[in-house]
Amino acid sequence: MPGSEELQGIPMNRGNGTPAFPSVSGSNLNGKRFRLPNDFESDLNIAIVAFKRKHVDLIESWQSSITQMAEKNARLGFYELPVLSAAYSPFRWWIDGGMRAGILSGEVRKRTINRLHR
């Protein structure tokens, strides 16, 4: 939200009022752990966050355009961040496995970082 200093309880500024990507962690569908924003692999990054299942459809509508931009610019990275309730923690292996089975592209699996939120 523009002007908001928190995103579901996660600080969104550097302490001086300057907006910042919140510090979050998660694993991609290949099992690699990430601590973002430190582990973003490019100089410039687009991170699309999905808080609800219906947001995934919106992400999919942007995938092609963003992927084309990233292919043309080696400095641009693209990440998809589905946020799952921590209540699903015991089932994470099953959810991640289902997502892996449904996503055949190795590149999409690499850039999809699931995040559990309390």
Which domains does the chain possess? 6-117 (3.40.30)
**pTM of the entire structure?**
0.73
Q: What is the pLDDT of residues 16-61, one digit of tens each?
A: 767 778 888 888 999 899 999 999 999 999 999 888 878 878 888 9
Distance of CA 19 to the CA centre of its chain: 18
The amino acid present at 95, given as its one-letter code, is I
Reported as a pLDDT band with limits 50, 70 and 90, residue 2 is very low
Beta bridge partners, 28, equal 113
Q: What is the pLDDT of residues 73-83, one digit of tens each?
A: 999 999 999 88
Helix (H, G, I), strand (E, B) or coil at 6: strand
